Amino acid sequence: MLHSSRAILALNGTLMIILGGAFWMFPEFFTLLMFPDFAENQQAIDVGVALRKNMGAGCAFIGVILFSCQSSPKSTAQRLLFSSAIGFLLMVTALLQVKLSGQADVPLFILIFFSALCVLSLFVASRRHQE
């Protein structure tokens, strides 16, 4: 599996679709997890819920693209995997900035999740011999 860009594309796609579904099905949970001070403000919760649902749709969108590219030629899959590693790095950077600035309480799990996808994607995309 660590020798196949296509397998990692499928894995990344599946995980992003699951994450998107979680954001879509439990938007209030994620909103209150990141913004616990908003528990008493229904208008702020409503805005957060709308944003989590949009995040869910965006994650699922990216997941579907990554998953559908698993049948691409090896060189194309490798480039897509490298590009997704850059995208995951951007996500980690943005989430860290939000957490460190105190704008939101970003869960450690989500930072680890995107970091792991970034490292795994970069590792597999940079391997010369692909299956």
In tens, the pLDDT along 15-42 reads 999 999 999 999 999 999 999 998 999 9
In the prediction, which pLDDT does 75 show?
86
Span 68-85, average pLDDT: 91
pLDDT at 118 over 80: yes
Give me the residue label for tokens 């699922």: 60
106: left (phi over 0), alpha (psi -120 to 50) or beta: beta
In this prediction, residue 127 carries a pLDDT of 81
Domain boundaries, the chain: 5-125
Cα gap 118→112, rounded to integer Å: 10
Q: What is the pLDDT of residue 94?
A: 96
